């Protein structure tokens, strides 16, 4: 019995450490909004944090005369890290979100880079995938 408890501690402690360490640097700047469209106008994404269910489509639309690039660094909730504005993408999550998102919701929040006209960095918006 003692060996069983020791074994459980040896296996569970590292797992808890992994679940507790989320290197997601995104800080939400307002409430999340459940939506299927993010509108970009004057270098601002609205909503700042879009909440979309896994399996649903999300579209970024442009509301001004500028061009924008949308790029996820590292982890991406879509099949591609670079998203073309105006095209819908199916939210799929990734391993950490799909496996541990129900325990620790921050694993399903994905910051992305928004760049205007190829050179101007816009404020960092994000996407929250609901498992």
From first to last of its 131 residues, the chain has per-residue pLDDT tens of: 556 554 444 444 344 344 444 444 557 777 889 999 999 999 999 999 999 999 999 999 999 999 999 999 888 999 899 999 998 999 999 998 999 887 777 889 999 999 999 999 998 889 988 87
Q: Give me the domains of the chain, ranges plus CATH numbers.
A: 29-130 (2.60.40.420)
* pLDDT score for 26: 59
At 14 the pLDDT is 42
First to last CA, the chain: 37
Is the sign of the CA dihedral 91, 95, 99, 100 positive or negative?
negative
Question: Which residues contact residue 68 at a Cβ distance below 8 angstroms, ignoring those fewer than 6 apart?
Answer: 40, 60, 62, 85, 114, 115, 116, 117, 122
pTM recorded for the entire structure: 0.76
Task: Name which of 90, 77, 92, 84 is nearest 40 in CA terms.
Answer: 84
């Amino acid at each position: 019995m003692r060996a069983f408890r020791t074994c459980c501690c040896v296996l569970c402690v590292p797992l808890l450490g992994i679940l507790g360490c989320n290197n997601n640097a995104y800080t939400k700047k307002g409430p999340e909004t459940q939506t299927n469209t993010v509108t970009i106008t004057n270098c601002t994404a609205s909503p700042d944090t879009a909440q979309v269910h896994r399996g649903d489509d999300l579209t970024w639309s442009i509301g001004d005369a500028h061009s924008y690039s949308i790029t996820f660094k590292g982890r991406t909730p879509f099949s591609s890290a670079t998203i073309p504005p105006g095209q819908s993408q199916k939210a799929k999550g990734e391993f950490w979100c799909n496996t541990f998102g129900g325990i620790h919701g921050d694993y399903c929040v994905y910051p992305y880079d928004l760049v205007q006209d190829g050179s101007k960095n816009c404020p960092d918006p994000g996407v929250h995938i609901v498992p």
